[in-house]
Amino acid sequence: MNARPMSADTSIPERWPTRLTELLGIRWPMLLGGMMWLSDARLVAAMVRAGGMGFLTARSSRTDGDFRQALHECRHLSGEQPFGVNLTLSRRGSGNDAMTTRLKIALQEGVRVFETAGLPPTELMPHFREAGAIVIHKCAHVRHALSAQAMGVNAVTLVGMEEGGHPGSNQLPTFLNGALALEQLRIPLALGGGIGHGRQIAAALALGADAVVMGSVFTSALETPAHDAYKQRVVATDAHGTRAVLGSLGDTWRVIDNENARKVAALEQAGARTHAEFGLLISGERTQALAYQAGQHEEGMLSMGPAVDFARAVEPVAKIIQRLQKECMQASTRFQRMLVQ
Ligand SMILES: Cc1cc2nc3c(=O)[nH]c(=O)nc-3n(C[C@H](O)[C@H](O)[C@H](O)COP(=O)(O)O)c2cc1C
C-alpha cells in the first residue's frame, strides 16, 4: 500500500466550525453517512467520539426491539453525546412504513438528528417538526435538494455519482453538483461521494460546503461490524475497483466489482429489467450473511465507491479522523499561504 507522507508540525485546532457543526454540536465537519448493515452502535459511537457525526441505520435492525436496543447501546458507547439515525426510504416502496415506526422509537429514545435518503421525507416531516428534530436530507440532484429545502429540512447532503451505494440517476460528479447547488441553496450543505482524503475536505469547505459525508473510506474501520476477509478485500480495492449496476432499472447501485456484481452486470446486459430477475444476487440479507458476516467477499452487493482507495488499513475510526484532519489542515494551510503571497 502507498505510504502517505505527513508533516509533523501541522497543528490541528480543536474544532473547525461551520453552519453544520454548529447545528449538530460537533467539532469537525465530517459525517459518516448511514451504511446498511454496517452503521451499528459501535461504529456510530466511534465517529461521534472522534468529533464527527454518525447515523445508525434504522433498517439494519430486524425488529423494533433490536432497534431500541441498538439506540441504547449507541447512547452508552457515545458517552451520552448526540448521535444520528439514518432513515432510508426505498424507491421500491418496501419497508417504508416501518421507517415511521422507527422514527417514533428514535424520538422516544431522545434522538434528535436524522439523515433521510431515498424518497423525499414528506410523511416524516410532521414528526420531525413536532419533536424539534434536525433533519438532513440526502439526495443526488440539485433540484431535489431545492425541493427538500422548500419542504423545510434543516440541511441537505448532495452526493455525486461517485457515491458508494445508491447515487440515484444523477450522472454528475460530487464537486460539480456541489458548485451548482451552492448557487441556489440557502440551507447548510454537506457534500458526499468519492471523499476519503483530507485535501478533499478542505476543497469542499473552500467550495462553500458546510461538511462532507463519507462512507466507503470507513468500511475497513476496526469498529465496522464485518468479517476481516471483507475488510482485507476493501483494503486491496483501488479507485478502479467499483462499478455501477442496475442503472437501466432506474436503481443505480455502486458496488465493489466482485464476482456477484459481474453476474448482475451480465444479466443486465442480457436485458433483465426487473429486480425479481436478479433474485438472490441483489438480496441485502444474503450480502449480510455471506459477505459481511462470513467474509465471502465475492458474494453479495458490496456498496462501495472509489474513495475506497483511501481505505488502506484496518484501523480505528479515531485514527482515520486524525489522518483526515491533518490532511485537511495541510491543504488549507497551503491554500491560505498562496492567498497571502
Ligand atoms: C457499505 C455502504 C452502505 C451504504 N448504505 C446506505 C444506506 O443504507 N442508506 C443511505 O442513505 N446511504 C447508504 N450509503 C451511502 C453513505 O451513507 C454515504 O452517503 C456514501 O458512502 C458517501 O459516499 P462515499 O461512499 O463515496 O464516501 C452506503 C454506503 C456504503 C459504502
Neighbouring residues of 98: CB distance < 8 A, sequence distance ≥ 6: 59
Ordered structural domains, the chain, with CATH: 19-225+311-340 (3.20.20.70), 228-306 (no CATH)
pLDDT in tens, 132-181: 999 999 999 999 999 999 999 999 999 999 999 999 998 999 999 999 99
Pocket test for ligand 1, best of 30, 31, 35, 238 (most atoms within 8 A of CB): 35
- The residue with greater pLDDT, 124 or 10, is 124
pLDDT in tens, 245-278: 999 999 999 999 999 999 999 999 999 999 999 9
Q: Is the CB of 195 under 6 A from ligand 1?
A: yes
Other Cβ atoms closer than 10 A to 97: 10
Alpha carbons within 13 A on the beta-carbon side of 199: 8
Contact criterion met (CB below 8 Å) for 43 and 223: yes
Atom 10 of ligand 1, nearest CA residue: 34
Per-residue model confidence (pLDDT) at position 10: 60
pLDDT in tens, 108-146: 999 999 999 999 999 999 999 999 999 999 999 999 999
Atom 4 of ligand 1, nearest CA residue: 35
Cα–Cα distances in angstroms (integers) from residue 177 to residues 2, 18, 27, 165, in the given order: 30, 20, 26, 17
pLDDT in tens, 306-330: 999 999 999 999 999 999 999 999 9
Q: Is the CB of 214 under 6 A from ligand 1?
A: yes
Mean pLDDT (the chain, rounded): 96
What value does the mean pLDDT take over residues 200-217? 98
Confidence of residue 331 (pLDDT cuts 50, 70, 90): very high
Beta strands in 96-252 (DSSP E): 113-118, 134-139, 155-159, 189-192, 211-214, 242-245
Confidence of residue 92 (pLDDT cuts 50, 70, 90): confident
> What's the CA-to-centroid distance between 159 and ligand 1, angstroms?
10
> What's the CA-to-centroid distance between 33 and ligand 1, angstroms?
6
Q: Is the CB of 307 under 6 A from ligand 1?
A: yes
